[in-house]
Structure 1
Amino acid sequence: MARIKPQTLLLQSKKKKGPSRISFATIILYTLVIGLILLSLVATFRRWSRRSAEEKGYGLKNIEVQSSEKDSKKYDLPGYAVLSTSKGDITVELSKDTAPGIVDKFLDLCQKGGFKSMPFQQVIKNYLIRASNSQGAGTAESLMSEGKLRTQLVPRSKHEAFMLGTSKRRQDDKSFELIITTASLHDFADKLIMFGRVVEGENIIKEIEGMETDEHYRPNSPISILTVTLKHEI
């Protein structure tokens, strides 16, 4: 058996005990893996942050949309009403901003046919005409007597001619009054709510105003509102 030289044994011992070297390719591979892991974590964080921001923004957007939809509904309501009478048509522009509650009530009654065949109960020359389903003198005659008294006392602001209003006394389906002024009236803010102005049909109002009446200002010949048609534009 051949003997191994001492130098050879020493070299073999160093090779076994020394640490193994990591190749350059392995270092590159580990670096790439660590880089990919870091990029993945960064991308995940960005995606999570973006989603959180979008959810918050979506909530605000929903609030804005709901608010705008609510506002738009207000202005999507019909802005005009055509009162078809026995004498002809009277077109009124509704005051949706100044009297929204009364306009809503008026529109609701129109859709229910609340003004169909409503008679003009009183015609007071150079003052107003009044249509109502209720019998009796109603608001018009009392307004006229109060108006004379107020004129004698202190000059006050006035309602313009050819304005559409109603009484403040009662606002139910059976007693809703329609009052159209035919001249400037002294302020009756405590009695009347004006919610529209006549834009077409002043000649029809004048024709109604010229009708003969009895001592209670009731027309001698029957005249009424046949139908009311709602419109967005004229």
Structure 2
Amino acid sequence: MARIKPQALLLQSKRKKGPTRIGASTIVLCNLVVALIVLSIMATYRHWYKRSMDQTEDGKSTFEGTDVRTLVDLKKYDLPGYAILNTSKGYITIELYKESSPEIVDRFLDLCQKGYFKGMPFNHVIKNYVIQGGEYQGLGAAEELISHAKLHLQLGTSPKHEAFMLGTSKIRLDSKGFDLFITTAPIPDMNDKLTVFGRVIKGEDVVQEIEEVDTDEHYRPKSSVGIINVALKREV
């Protein structure tokens, strides 16, 4: 009998052993496991993201302390688009102009989350003109605001700011403070002083009720009226 050489045996062994094939059922099972892992991660992300946007009972966001600018970079359009002012006369719902005034809205949101507006009084209430809260130095002094109001009430010229708009003074944008103005009538002469970053979409009657409070000769309310807290919402 002829002997088979070792090299021939090695070649025969290689020919008999083919590559191991993975069954179709194994591939399907692996794909299902991967899909379940991905879905689980997505569900966890949505759950914690939703919790981060919820409001606490005192009107401050649960992601207090988070840099709003960082959130804007990550997901700009998921930022709250509405602010609900809880005032001593009722609720005022504001639609924020995130696209036309992004920097001011960012700062407003940041201050809301830090509780800056909690307990802020309305320092001046000028009927058929404006309601002002916070320290106002946009015109140099409150007296100049009053003089503009008197001039406006006398002239009644063409409007540049509509009624029920939310704004802040331009001169305070680089400072630590932040003042609020809610117009109660079209204002013709404040376009170079105020930056509008929102409008009242609900609660106009509350604005008008605040407008009716008794004031002294300097338009300061005789009884306390102001903001209790601010709640931020993505939808209303």
TM bin (shorter chain)? 0.5 to 0.7
The aligned counterpart of 2:207 is: 205
Report the CA distance between 1:175 and its aligned residue.
Answer: 2.8
RMSD, matched Cα: 3.0
**Closer, same or farther in 2 for the Cα pair 1:151/1:229, shift >3 Å?**
closer
1:146 and 2:148 matched: yes
SS in 2 for 1:169: helix
Q: Which runs of 5+ in 1 are unaligned?
A: 1-68
The aligned counterpart of 1:189 is: 191
The question of whether the paired residues in 2 share the 8 Å contact of 1:89 and 1:201 is answered with yes
* Cα distance in 1 between the residues matched to 2:149 and 2:135: 24
* Cα distance in 2 between the residues matched to 1:107 and 1:217: 29
Query: What CA deviation, in whole Å up to 9, does each residue of 1:69-120 have, x standing for no partner?
Result: 9777221110000000011100000001111110001000001000000000
The correspondence for 1:117, drawn from 116, 119, 128, is 119
Query: What CA deviation, in whole Å up to 9, does each residue of 1:118-177 have, x standing for no partner?
Result: 000000000010111569x97665245236557888955421000000111213675311
The correspondence for 1:73, drawn from 72, 75, 84, is 75
The aligned counterpart of 1:87 is: 89
The aligned counterpart of 1:36 is: none
The question of whether the paired residues in 1 share the 8 Å contact of 2:152 and 2:189 is answered with no
Rg (Cα) greater in structure? 1
The structure in which a higher percent of residues are helix is 1
The correspondence for 1:96, drawn from 80, 95, 98, is 98
* Cα distance in 2 between the residues matched to 1:147 and 1:207: 19
Q: Which amino acid aligns with 1:131?
A: G
The aligned counterpart of 1:129 is: 131
Q: Which amino acid aligns with 2:162?
A: E
**Closer, same or farther in 2 for the Cα pair 1:71/1:128, shift >3 Å?**
same
**Bigger mean CA offset, 204-213 vs 71-80:** 71-80
Q: How does 1:6-85 map to 2 (within 5 A)?
A: 73-85=75-87
Q: Which amino acid aligns with 1:159?
A: H
**Closer, same or farther in 2 for the Cα pair 1:141/1:164, shift >3 Å?**
farther
1:178 and 2:180 matched: yes
The question of whether the paired residues in 2 share the 8 Å contact of 1:214 and 1:220 is answered with yes
Q: Which amino acid aligns with 1:181?
A: T
Q: Which runs of 5+ in 2 are unaligned?
A: 1-70
The question of whether the paired residues in 1 share the 8 Å contact of 2:81 and 2:233 is answered with yes
Aligned residues: 166
* Cα distance in 1 between the residues matched to 2:203 and 2:90: 8
SS in 2 for 1:97: coil
SS in 2 for 1:228: strand
Q: Which amino acid aligns with 1:146?
A: H
The question of whether the paired residues in 2 share the 8 Å contact of 1:79 and 1:96 is answered with yes
The aligned counterpart of 1:105 is: 107
Structure 1 stretches of at least 4 aligned residues deviating more than 4 Å after TM superposition: 69-72, 137-141, 147-157
Q: Which amino acid aligns with 1:86?
A: S
Report the CA distance between 1:204 and its aligned residue.
Answer: 0.6
The aligned counterpart of 1:61 is: none
What is the TM-score normalised by the length of structure 1? 0.63
Query: What CA deviation, in whole Å up to 9, does each residue of 1:173-193 have, x standing for no partner?
Result: 753111000001114222000
* Cα distance in 2 between the residues matched to 1:203 and 1:104: 27
